Structure 1
């Protein structure tokens, strides 16, 4: 995956700049809700719009099946899944992938504020394929397929 093929590259950098600002101001150790509220304040300072706790309904045969609540949707294009845990686990990436499938969006970023440094994982879903590079700064490495 080259720099030219990074989905929502500029928006991703703005999102991560906001996450770093929040983590630099607060540090680790707070509940997820604190970081969620801080990101609501910080993201607009980076020139993006944010919808918090967005509800989506999964449909099955034209009927509602289940409802999800997304932590954040940025500029209507990127799902943010926020965590305050010791490390990002594959289950969080799988959760983000299910949100992408349900919404038709292509990119979710799982951001963890619970460690000594911000951790992030991009989850990409395009054309029926899912990719999860190791971490945000290592986007130049080949992706790992979840299938």
Structure 2
């Protein structure tokens, strides 16, 4: 499954979850629900995956933890915050660079309309 197909499925999942529960839950709850729905959709994923960082001669085993990586192709960074900051977008961009993945979805569930909370971020390798 290519990145755009994965992203479409993830967006559909986020819409359904937000329609049912709305804003205001903990990020960890949304993560659990998204992963449950990914399983139902037959998409493989990993949660809280530690990603190494290599700097010159040193290797840090965990440079960051990705909330969810779907099919080893798309990173999903989940938030439940009042307002997304520029830092959140840059965070996903950094994650994409370190993993060499092409597409990330920054999803903030703490919005009245989920369409305003979903953001595609592309790694321009």
Q: Same fold (TM over 0.5)?
A: yes
Corresponding residue for 2:45?
Answer: 50
Contact in 2 for aligned 1:88/1:120 (Cα 8 Å): no
| CA displacement at 1:86 relative to structure 2 | 2.1
Higher relative contact order (CA 8 A, sep 6+): 2
Q: Which runs of 4+ in 1 moved over 6 A?
A: none
**Superposition TM-score, scaled by structure 2 size:** 0.89
Instruction: Measure, in 2, the Cα distance between the counterparts of 1:70 and 1:38.
Output: 16
Q: Which runs of no fewer than 5 residues in structure 1 stay unpaired?
A: 1-6, 128-147
| CA displacement at 1:46 relative to structure 2 | 2.6
| CA displacement at 1:81 relative to structure 2 | 0.2
* Aligned-residue RMSD, C-alpha: 1.5
The answer on 1:34 being equivalent to 2:18 is no
| CA displacement at 1:25 relative to structure 2 | 1.8
| CA displacement at 1:62 relative to structure 2 | 3.9
**Superposition TM-score, scaled by structure 1 size:** 0.76
- Which of 68, 71, 79 aligns to 1:72? It is 68
Matches within 5 A, 1:1-147: 8-65=3-60, 67-118=63-114, 119-127=117-125
| CA displacement at 1:14 relative to structure 2 | 0.4
Structure with the bigger percentage of helix: 2
Contact in 2 for aligned 1:18/1:46 (Cα 8 Å): no
| CA displacement at 1:77 relative to structure 2 | 0.2
| CA displacement at 1:45 relative to structure 2 | 2.2
